[in-house]
Every structure is written in C-alpha cells, then in structure tokens.
Amino acid sequence: MINLLLLPVLIPFLFAAVLLLFPKKVKAQRVVTMIGLAFALASSIALLYKVKVNGVQALTLGSWAPPFGITMVSDMFSALLVTSSLLIALFVVWYSFTSIEEEREKAFYYPAILFMLTGVNGAFTTGDIFNMFVFFEVLLMSSYVLIVLGGEKIQLKESIKYIIVNIVSSSLFVITVGYLYSVVGTLNMADISVKLAEIGPSGIVTVIAVLFLIVFGIKGGIFPLFFWLPGSYGAPPIPVLALFGALLTKVGVYAIMRTYTLFFTTDVGYTHNLLMILSILTIVVGCIGALAYFNVKQIIIYNIVIAVGVILFGASVMNESGMMGSVFYLIHDILIKGALFLLIGIIIKITGTSDLRKMGGLMKRYPLLAWVYLIVAFGLAGIPPLSGFIGKLLIVQGGFEGDLLWQSIFILASSLLVLLSAIRIFIYAFWGEEKGQHLISKEKYRHLLAPAITLASLTVLYGVGAEYLVPFMTDATNVLLDPSIYIDAVFEGVK
C-alpha cells in the first residue's frame, strides 16, 4: 500500500465533497463528518506505525521520477502532526454538535472543516515547495469560509483583515518560491536541499531564508508579524477558534522548522540567530498580551503566540535536545490549545460573556469544569508530570547546551507568566461571588464537557506517558537534524 501516506489528505477531501451534496441535512452532515474523521484518523495511525517500522515514506505522484513529479513525503515529524491534527478535529467536531448553531451547520460548516484538514494535512505531508503553497491556499480558502460563516459584524470586519494579510503573504510566498527556483532550478524539497548544500553559503540564499521566515512568520504569528492574529482569531465562534488556534499557526511553525532544517543550514550563524531573537521577542510580546487582557479569548490567543516562540526557540538552537523538545512541545501545544479553547468555550457559554470581570463563582455549580480547567492550565505552564513539562525541559536543556544561558532562563521565567495568565482566568471565573446568569441547561453543559474532558485526559496521558513517545520523537528529531535521511527516502531507487 504505497499510497497510504496520502490517505489522511484524501479521505477528508472525499468526505467534504460528499457533504456538499446535502448541506441542509444536519444529522447526516454530523454523522458523515465523524465517519470521515474516524477513517482518516485510523489511516494516519496506520501511517504512523508504518513510518515507525519502515522509515520515511515517499511517493512521487503520477509515477514520475523525482525530482520531476510532485513528491509527497511522510517522515515521523509530519506523521505525528497529521495524526494530532485529525485527533483535534475529531474533538472539535464533536464539540460543535452542541456549540455551533444550526444555521452555521447548514451553511457548509462541516465541509469547510474537512477541506481545511485536507489543506493542513497536505501541507504537513508534501515534499514539494510549490505544492506546499497550493495546500496552504486550500487551507486558507476553507479558513476564509470558517471565519466569516455566520456573518456577525465583528466577523466581517476581522475577515477582511484576515484575507488581506493572507493574500499578501501568499503572494510573497510565490515570489519567494520563484527566487528559490531561479537559484536552484527545482521545486522538489529534497532536491533543493541537495542543490543548496552544493551552493554553500551565499548572500541570495540567506535573503531567501529570511523571506521564507517572513512568509511563514505571518502564518505562524511570530513577532512582529503576529499583529493580525489576536483580532482575527477572536472573531469566529469557539470551535472554529479552537481549530485555528490549535492547527493553523502550527502549519506556519511546521513550515519554518522544515525549511530551516532541510534548506537553510549553510548560514546558521545568521538565519538561525535571527530566528532565535525573533522567537524570544515573540515570547515577550505574547506574555505582555496574555497578562494585559481581561478577555478570556484574548488571553488564550496570546498564549498561542508564546507557544510559537517557545517552539521556534527550540528549533533555532539546532541540537538534539532542543529539536526534540520542539517536536514534543509542538504536539503538546496542538492538544492543549484545543482543550483550553473548548474549556473556555464552555465558560463563555455559561456566563454569556468573555470578560473576566463579569464572571465569577462558577466553582460552586460547575466544580468538574473548574478542576479540569486547572489541570489543563498546569499542563499549559509545564508543571510536571503534565504534558508541557517534558517539551519545555528539553528545549531549555538544548538552550543550555547551545550556550544560550540567558535566553533559556528567560524561557523558564516565561512559564511562570503563562501560569499566571492561565490562573487569572481560574481565579476570576471560578472563585469569588457568583456573578451573572447561568445560560445553559445541564444537558447542554454535559454535552459540551464530554469532548473537552476527553481531550484534557489525552493531554494528561501525553505528559505521563512521554516515556513511550520518546522513540517516535527521536525518529522525528533524527530526520530534522539529518536531512540525508529525508533526501535518501525521496530518491530511493532513482540515483
């Protein structure tokens, strides 16, 4: 089954196309979406197993020989990301059954989610830089639908900003790919890596590296290109926000990590230092934002920005501990941000506001929600043995090994600020006098809590069972640090 690596991309696509046939039948839409996601998840787990046993999987479409055809490559890093993105989508869709209004469900909500997953998984899997642009467009188109769906005033306002920012960054993406093509004469990522290594350090390559950083930085939300993110992500309803927050920025982060380990390794002194400085600044800005707001959505959104900084810092040091920490932290962040958004979604549904000052005393009536939130908040900050701990530990260890003493200490200190920002929500929302009205029925509350709790327990398992994940993470790290594994897999049997 050599096409296995394509199934996580194709299955959501097929089901999305089928869903277009009967948009008004909400029940059928829900069932078909869940079936599609379950199939896709099963295929991605099979892929994960296959990559673990047989090593990197590569396939060039249409039976062309690489580098002429479009190559799809699935190494451990991308297989892990594909699996976690399908997992998070499964929970978000489950949560949407109760959370999203029927009008939205009738207006192509589920097909848009599945098309977006096609794009996300495609971008994680592709081994062709122009094809990556195409998959970026697929996921962006669907995210335009999701951000504007419902047509509230704030959504319309923010979606214009979102679309303009993304159109600009997408055209910059094509321009940058054009520059790269004119230097190396190929679009196949493995081939680019070989050609760039032959060229060695040169000014134009560094320029292209920085341009790629700008392109993916806009998508990923690094300093100073994250300006659109807090506003745009705050506009759509919670399940969409959970998907965006957990997945979309991660695609940008993935692309930075991929290009900065596979392509631009010749002038590390400049490019990776720049990445390191920007990631530290990203954390600073994220911390300020996370502490400054009284809006729960904004607090968690700024926590996305912090996480992007932490992951990229780990990647920028380019040693084994740092890179492994980044991979650990990236998967952790997908899961934990999903769980957090689902939980604060429940808080917002109960109180009818996202302003911390207008809520309080939820502990008395919703103790389970409170404790689950607390566990997830601890996981976010990285308190052992929860999920954020191992990743951050390895990243900081990598920082020390790379002689980045102050930066590493700063990362540690930022965890405290992250904890503070998450605990502020706990204190304001759950402690104190009961305030405001309680807007949802017991039944609805249970329906919303079930996916959130399941996801939260998964994050706990991820932290506690980190030992069992180490072999997978080691494989992912090895491919990132040693591009020849990736290149050999693509050109296997050709050269």
Partner 1 sequence: MKTNDLIIQTTTKVVFFIIFLFSIHIFFAGHYTPGGGFVGGLVMSSAIVLLMLAFDLKTVQDMLPVNYTVITAIGLIISLLTAAGSIFFNVPFFTHVYDYFNLPLLGETSIHTAMFFDTGVYLVVVGVTMNIIQMIGGDE
Site of interaction with partner 1 (CB under 8 A): 1-3, 6, 10, 13-14, 17-18, 20-21, 23, 59-63, 69, 72
Backbone angles phi, psi at 295, to 5 degrees: -95, 120
Alpha carbon distance 445, 447 (integer Å): 5
Please count the CA atoms within 13 angstroms of the CA of 234 that sit on its side-chain side. 22
Could you tell me which residues are beta bridge partners of residue 60? 71
Count Cβ atoms below 10 Å from residue 277 Cβ, excluding itself: 14
Give least dist CB 111 to partner 1, A: 9
Tokens representing 7?
A: 């199934």
Amino acid, res. 398: G
Alpha carbon distance 419, 290 (integer Å): 10
Give least dist CB 202 to partner 1, A: 35
Q: Which is nearer to partner 1, 14 or 284 (CB)?
A: 14
Give least dist CB 24 to partner 1, A: 11
Nearest Cα to Cα of residue 462 among 369, 379, 351, 381: 379
Q: Which is nearer to partner 1, 3 or 171 (CB)?
A: 3
Residue with tokens 């390895």: 394
Give least dist CB 16 to partner 1, A: 8
Helical H segments across 263-295, by residue range: 268-292
Give least dist CB 158 to partner 1, A: 22
Tokens representing 159?
A: 């979606």
Q: Which is nearer to partner 1, 63 or 437 (CB)?
A: 63
Amino acid, res. 425: I
Give least dist CB 58 to partner 1, A: 10
Kindly give, in sequence order, each residue whose CB lies less than 8 Å from that of residue 217, ignoring residues fewer than 6 positions away: 225, 252, 256, 278
In three-state secondary structure terms, 58 is strand
Rounded to whole angstroms, the maximal C-alpha distance in the chain is 71
Q: Which is nearer to partner 1, 114 or 238 (CB)?
A: 114
Question: Does residue 28 contact residue 53 with C-beta atoms inside 8 Å?
Answer: no
Give least dist CB 105 to partner 1, A: 16
Residue 432 backbone zone (phi > 0: left; psi -120 to 50: alpha; other: beta): left
Give least dist CB 43 to partner 1, A: 11
Give least dist CB 193 to partner 1, A: 21
Q: Which is nearer to partner 1, 64 or 431 (CB)?
A: 64
Q: Which is nearer to partner 1, 26 or 440 (CB)?
A: 26
Element (H, E) at 26: helix 26-54
Q: Which is nearer to partner 1, 32 or 241 (CB)?
A: 32
Count Cβ atoms below 10 Å from residue 24 Cβ, excluding itself: 10
Q: Which is nearer to partner 1, 51 or 344 (CB)?
A: 51
Give least dist CB 1 to partner 1, A: 7
Q: Which is nearer to partner 1, 6 or 476 (CB)?
A: 6
Q: Which is nearer to partner 1, 25 or 444 (CB)?
A: 25
> How many angstroms separate the Cα of 434 from the Cα of each of 211, 295, 424?
51, 18, 16
Count Cβ atoms below 10 Å from residue 185 Cβ, excluding itself: 11
Provide the 8-state DSSP code for 65. Answer: P
Kindly give, in sequence order, each residue whose CB lies less than 8 Å from that of residue 488, ignoring residues fewer than 6 positions away: none
